Amino acid sequence: MKLIRFIEDIPFDKNSIVTVGTFDGVHLAHQKIIGKVVELAKRRNGRSVVVTFEPHPREVLAPPSSDIKLLTTLQERKELCEQIGVDWLFVIEFNEVFSQQGFRDFYVKYLIGGIGISAIVEGYDHHWGKNREGNIEALVRLGNEYEFEVVQIEQFKHNGIPVNSSMIRNELLNGSVEVGAGFLGRPYTLFGKVVPGDQRGRSLGYPTANVELNSQKKVVPKNGIYFVQVRVGGSKYFGMASIGVRPTFHADGKCILEVNILDFNQSIYGFDLRIDFLQRLRDEWKFDSVDKLIQQMHNDEELSRALQYKYHSLV
């Protein structure tokens, strides 16, 4: 797959099947849209093009006080689009000036006159342009004028529930990582680097890797203990992740992410980790004594080892 950032860098090809959207999460509904683009391009011997934006429009348009959190980085979106089979990913810089562009001006400049288009695939609720003036009906009229097809994808539901990025963010913020995974079509993932910590976990019999996240923009699931899969050095392991302030030891601690990798005793300072959140084990609790904390960690480990059989196909 080719990634471009400037319209001049993509050759004009009238036989292009295109979709436009932010696609944060590349969740099941997004996959339905992007998959249709790839399917049509293959059937018509054309090329599939996904047009997306960086940064997320909400980061530019929301009030400065807003704390916008995302499901995927651009790199993740790129990799997920590539897995679906997209030929070209066109990333447009979204800024204040760009946000003032009208629906028609955008489509004529970037898609019709820039990329070339024989069909566009969009969701039923697609809106675009200043004040969200563009919608499916306006797009159909534009298609009639410039002779391209508009393919509308109906609302996608999982277990009877409409899938959208905002709902997934809320599920993760509530700790419902299994529900979030169901709508994403895969476990929710955080990436980070192992950095030195206070090594308290080692003294408790559960050495942990302190993880410094690669992106501060991503959603971090609700504080608590989770059963996870950890990818390190090309290998996969199961483990327990703790997100929280460690209230047993700190009255007002900083929220950190720690991971105990089961059956693993290598030094991995400086290593990059991928952490897939599989299941929430419990809330973060303050214990009256270190011994009670250790006993609970034993219980967490016992449950985690039992869960390995449920998720064994992931390794």
Alpha-carbon separation of residue 11 from 105, 147, 150, 180 (angstroms): 20, 19, 22, 38
Q: Which residues of the chain have pLDDT under 50?
A: none
pLDDT score of 254 = 85
Q: Where in the chain is the domain with CATH 2.40.30.30?
A: 188-314
CATH superfamily entry for domain 188-314: Riboflavin kinase-like (2.40.30.30)
CATH architecture entry for 2-162: 3-Layer(aba) Sandwich (3.40)
Taking alpha carbons only, the member of 106, 120, 124, 4 closest to residue 57 is: 106
- CATH 3.40.50.620 residue ranges in the chain? 2-162
* pTM listed for this prediction: 0.94
Cβ neighbours of residue 63 closer than 8 Å, sequence gap 6 or more: none
CA nearest neighbour of 234 among 262, 195, 273, 266: 273
pLDDT value for 272: 97
In DSSP notation, 182-239 reads HHHTS-EEEEEEEE----HHHHTT---EEEEES-SSB--PPSEEEEEEEEETTEEEEE
Tokens, residue 213: 């996240």
Q: Quick check: 151 and 40 in contact, CB under 8 A? A: yes
Which ranges of the chain does DSSP label H, i.e. alpha helix?
28-43, 57-61, 74-84, 96-99, 103-106, 136-146, 165-173, 177-184, 200-203, 290-310
- Asked if residues 177 and 278 have their Cβ atoms less than 8 Å apart, the reply is yes
SS3 content of the chain, % helix, strand, coil (to 5): 35, 30, 35
pLDDT at 152: 96
CA distance 30 to 34: 6
Alpha carbons 50 and 90: distance in angstroms, whole number: 6
State the pLDDT at residue 189.
98
Q: Cα separation of 257 and 208, whole Å?
A: 10
Residues 6 or more apart in contact with residue 17 via CB below 8 angstroms: 37, 38, 40, 41, 44, 46, 47, 48, 49, 117, 118, 119, 120, 121
